[in-house]
Copies of this chain bind each other. A is one copy, B any other.
Amino acid sequence: MSERVVVIGADAAGMSAASQAKRMRGDDLEVTVLERGSHTSYSACGIPYWIAGDVGSVDDLVARTAEEHRANGIDLRMRNEAVGIDMDRREVEVRELDGSGADSSRGSTYRLGFDHLVIATGARPRRPEVPGIDADGVLGVQTLDDGERFLDALQSRRPQRAVVVGGGYIGIEMAEAMVTRGLSVTVVTRSPEPMATLDPDMGRQVHEAMEGMGIDVRTGAVIEAVETSADGWARAVVTDAGEFAADLVVLGTGVSPETELASSAGLPVGRWGGLVTDLQMRVFDAEGVWAAGDCVESIDLVSGNRVHVALGTHANKQGRVLGTNLGGGYATFPGVVGTAVSKVCELEIARTGLKEKDCDAVGFAYLTVRVDSTTRAGYYPGAQPVTVKLVVEQRTGRLLGAQIVGREGSAKRIDTLAVALWNHMTVEEISALDLGYAPPFSPVWDPVLIAARKAADKVRAGS
């Protein structure tokens, strides 16, 4: 007898789950996917590049269209929003939204029964709670629909000045995109340096690279209000460090799990507001309910704590793991180590594991090293500067985290350290690793190895 699966959300996690389960169980599973937006299976991470004009068409960001999913036997209902979950009757209440731009509170509703429910509702941009934050012209960059709104605004209002609130990777990528579009850009961030996923000593280099691109960077500044013009459109961002004129305001203050629907239904959310699942992506204490993607919390394999990391790569993996289990197979998503890479102009930025502040928060005593080296042999044409920082547990020498900032060829070196972290390696062990060496790719001591060696010396010295 076939089972009914309802999936809420048709982006990476939801569609990976639906596709994988359907692939494994075929007609044995009736899969309905509800999506309130207008796009499926897209790369949200590509939005800044689309806005910058580096990616020609929105279609390039769509991995698989609604039609392709339907051809695989999935009942995909676009512009159908799940507005309630009835756990007792095991039904989802759905509102059919009209064409784009319709008031989502109108439209008729219907109910859909399920044997299995998959929650893949994603995340939403955090909005600082200040006056004017909901004004027109204050834009998040989370969905392709957001991206379309952004491009519409660029076209219709010909903005000259943009203010980005928040200096995280989305904020920085958007700042660069708008510089590329010819706007003058100010980034306002409350942290001491932009890119607060790095320690400030490493964030400093990001700060300098941004200034090098002509971006006005204001650190330690707290937003107090968005001022609007007579037509209700944003006009300026007011902070405790002054007021900045803005024809567009971009929210780059990070995202929160979109779990209102789930928590209203009594499903368990964690410290960061994300759904809490087991290793197979089954929501705890909720028979037949699954979740994956930006709406869940994951285990941080370094500290053992739950964390919320909204990244397409995790969403895809979790969705696939979920679909495999739902499809009768077995797979687990063991957790994350906090790896992230990004780019501002020519500067590559990477991190994994815990930064200094994180260590303090979870109770690790640590030491750090920071080394400057080059991406290739110093004598080889095109060798570029790279800085590697390691955060290491005192006494044991266990790697706790790493950060890399440098020019071309720097960022993906973080993967080496991410795998080391995953395997609980000490810096002494890391310094012996057999990494690829040839003059076009690395100095004879890879920067990662130099850093590990120096850290091991420091651990031994007991400092």
Could you say how many copies of this chain the assembly holds? Answer: 2
Chain B residues in 8 Å Cβ range of A337: 434
Chain B residues in 8 Å Cβ range of A332: 432
| Contact of A350 with B by CB under 8 A | yes
Chain B residues in 8 Å Cβ range of A314: 434
Cα A352 to Cα B61 with chains together (Å): 34
Taking residues whose C-beta sits less than 8 angstroms from the other chain, chain A's interface range is 35 or more
Residue of chain B at shortest CB distance from A46: B439
Cα A425 to Cα B339 with chains together (Å): 19
Residue of chain B at shortest CB distance from A349: B438
Cα A80 to Cα B60 with chains together (Å): 65
Nearest-CB distance from A33 to chain B (Å)? Answer: 19
Residue of chain B at shortest CB distance from A316: B444
Contact yes or no, A423 B419, CB < 8 A: yes
Contact A334-B415, Cβ < 8 Å, known A45-B444, A379-B61, A445-B316: no
Contact yes or no, A412 B411, CB < 8 A: no
Of the residues B45, B416, B440, B444, contact of A43 by C-beta under 8 Å: B444
Cα A314 to Cα B418 with chains together (Å): 23
Contact yes or no, A422 B415, CB < 8 A: no
Nearest-CB distance from A429 to chain B (Å)? Answer: 8
Residue of chain B at shortest CB distance from A332: B432
Could you tell me which residues of chain A, from 334 to 386, have a CB within 8 Å of some CB in chain B? 334-343, 348, 350, 352, 377-381
Nearest-CB distance from A65 to chain B (Å)? Answer: 14
| Contact of A284 with B by CB under 8 A | no
Of the residues B339, B413, B425, contact of A434 by C-beta under 8 Å: B339
| Contact of A250 with B by CB under 8 A | no
Contact A432-B43, Cβ < 8 Å, known A423-B419, A445-B313, A445-B316: no
Contact yes or no, B415 A435, CB < 8 A: yes
| Contact of A272 with B by CB under 8 A | no
Contact yes or no, B418 A436, CB < 8 A: yes
| Contact of A125 with B by CB under 8 A | no
Nearest-CB distance from A206 to chain B (Å)? Answer: 14
Contact yes or no, A412 B436, CB < 8 A: yes
Chain B residues in 8 Å Cβ range of A380: 46, 49, 54-55
Chain B residues in 8 Å Cβ range of A316: 444-445
Contact yes or no, A438 B340, CB < 8 A: yes
| Contact of A130 with B by CB under 8 A | no
Contact yes or no, A444 B377, CB < 8 A: no
Chain B residues in 8 Å Cβ range of A435: 313, 339, 415, 418-419
Contact yes or no, A444 B412, CB < 8 A: no
Contact yes or no, A436 B339, CB < 8 A: yes
Contact yes or no, A43 B441, CB < 8 A: no
Chain B residues in 8 Å Cβ range of A197: none
Nearest-CB distance from A153 to chain B (Å)? Answer: 22
Chain B residues in 8 Å Cβ range of A416: 415-416, 418-419
Residue of chain B at shortest CB distance from A375: B412
Residue of chain B at shortest CB distance from A338: B434
| Contact of A420 with B by CB under 8 A | yes
| Contact of A268 with B by CB under 8 A | no
Cα A313 to Cα B434 with chains together (Å): 8
| Contact of A26 with B by CB under 8 A | no
Chain B residues in 8 Å Cβ range of A301: 434
| Contact of A149 with B by CB under 8 A | no
A positions within 8 Å CB-CB of B: 12, 43, 45-46, 49, 54-55, 60-61, 169, 301, 311-314, 316-317, 332-343, 348, 350, 352, 377-381, 409, 411-416, 418-420, 422-423, 425, 432-442, 444-446, 448
20 extra interface residue pairs, beta carbon distance < 8 Å, beyond A49-B380, A55-B379 = A43-B444, A45-B377, A45-B439, A46-B377, A46-B379, A54-B381, A60-B379, A311-B437, A314-B434, A339-B434, A339-B436, A342-B438, A411-B436, A415-B433, A415-B435, A416-B418, A418-B433, A418-B435, A418-B436, A419-B423
* Sampled A-B contacts (7; CB under 8 Å): A49-B380, A60-B378, A313-B444, A313-B446, A343-B441, A412-B413, A415-B446
